[in-house]
Structure 1
Amino acid sequence: MTTRNGVQKRALEVAEDNERIRRNAERFAGGLSIRRPDELASLSQAWTIRALDPNAYTGRVDGWHHGRLMVTHSRGDAVTFHRSRAHLGDGNDRHIQICLIKTGKIVTRQRGQESAGRTDSLLTLLLDHEFLSTSSNDMDVLLFHVPRSYFEARGINTATMAASVLDRVPVAEAIRSLVASAISLQRAGDDSLRDYLERSILELLTGLGTLFEEGFELMDKHSVGLRANVLGILEAEYADPGTSAETLAKAVGVSRRQLYRLFEGRNVSVAGMLRERRLDHAELLLRQPGNAPISSIAEASGFSGPDQLSRAMRDRHGRTPREYRAAFRST
């Protein structure tokens, strides 16, 4: 059995990995123009990047990072992205990459599946598996780097997101507008809307994430409806400390065992989804200006008390709530 010390040690390793990812994202915070293939190749970290034309490449990369979301806006000539076995285990493998294409075409292959995305397509990749992607010239794409656990905690089976494509994404322009605002405000040194922009983009991506399951659903319609009801109640009532797997089961008229069967095969249990949502909310409150008491933040997030919040923070980040707040402000 995994000990609490083991869990917290793992959390510290995750925090260190996230810090490396954050530092990598900051390379593009001011925008980076690329004029040669060797300059492009030097950006390789989580994967190997190569220009299709070995003699010429021009492009530009802008980046934005906040909380649990990293965004890269990439424009340029044709390239290949290869995440090989040698790259796995680098911390990025706990994330999903989501590509929103504005112009150009991307063809990708992962886990034996090949997919192609074009204008207004959304293409997803699991970073704990190898993949090979090739883009066309005149590529203009937004790349979102999101923890896999973020989607799992919202009831999304991320196993369906390997080399998957959604065409004609209805909220494509809304997402692009939010990202453009985030990058523009960053250049102006205005941090006032970072939490709002992070939440808004993640909410839109979460809504799109639920669509990937439609072609993979093995449950009957009644069970699918029950699961949707559970997720709706959980989202509305997670901040109530009295909300639990038992109360959710009672609210939809099933037993606790039946409730858990609705989410079989997921990486996060119903109780885990509750805990993750509460912890996400607590993190958001800890990022706010001022020094609200930890006990108030715990209560407002649905935890039974500050000790329960502290244990959850240590399990995720290897830090206490106060340490998390101080570390966030220092960056």
Structure 2
Amino acid sequence: MTTVDAKTVAGRLNIGFVLARSFTLSAFAMFVDTLRLASDEEDRSGRRFADWQVLGSTRHLIASSCGVQVAPTANFVDPERFDYIVVVGGLLNNPSPVDDDTIAYLRKAAAKKVPLIGVCTGTFILAEAGLMKGHRTCVSWLHYEAFRERFPDLEVRADRIFNLDRTRGSCAGGASAADMAAAIVRRHIGRAAERNALEVLQIQKARSALDIQPRKPLAIECEDPRLRATIITMERHVANVIPLQKLADAVGLSRRQLERLFQEQTGSSPGHIYKKLRLERAKQLLVQTEAPLIEIALEVGFESASYFTKAFRMTFGRTPSQVRAEAPH
């Protein structure tokens, strides 16, 4: 394993990668290949404008979730030698995705104000280390509930593809890793380098931090990204119902504009869609848990079991008790 020299090229972008056990190979590959293609011309894989290292506390190979292994290329050198340190996460069922030396290194980097970025579930590692306090975290919709359960005091969203928040960054993973890397390349190297990388990767245009995660919420057909973002936000706040005005403000619309958009694209009002989302969540809880009805009602934002039961029957044609009784055991 080599050590990393101090920055030898003035202004060259330097990034250190920390790979979790069972990390997501696609997210790492998209990020590092965007750097590789931006750092030179004509796909020569040179490192004229950027450099990168895979950091590790040992020389052991690190296995990705698909089984492909990657070897660290550098020890835990002074974190100030890097412009960013990127933590690539993976499967959440690993109780120890990184070792104690890695956590200590990340805390050292944070103390020295080195920007830290969590890619995929790398944000979980940063949050577990206490390094996401005061920063907004972006996670995949797939991992949103798990993040909220583990870190209820942290601000998290699952509608955007990535976020760069002062000295922290977070990314939903997958192809959005290339979008985040492209934004960093554009900031530190330039638009020509970004364009070169994207063209070789066959990406027509990088998405911005304002783009919405490509997911169809509640199987609702809607093309407008502002509408999808609103519905995803509704899905993630079924207990503490967000006022319509606040939902509208979040996507840059007035309340009337948002109501009109819902009617045009879904044929329903925002309130009706929101209630349906809450009741769909209640239906899941009825089938998957043994929680009392009043607990489920409160979990999805209803203040009384009787009102919850009435709304549930009007939506599904059966009472909550009937749905639970019919569920396979």
- The alignment's TM-score, normalised by the length of structure 2, stands at 0.31
Bigger RCO (CA 8 Å, 6+ sep): 1
Larger radius of gyration: 2
Comparing both structures, which one devotes a greater share of its residues to strand?
Answer: 1
TM-score, with normalisation over the residues of structure 1? 0.30
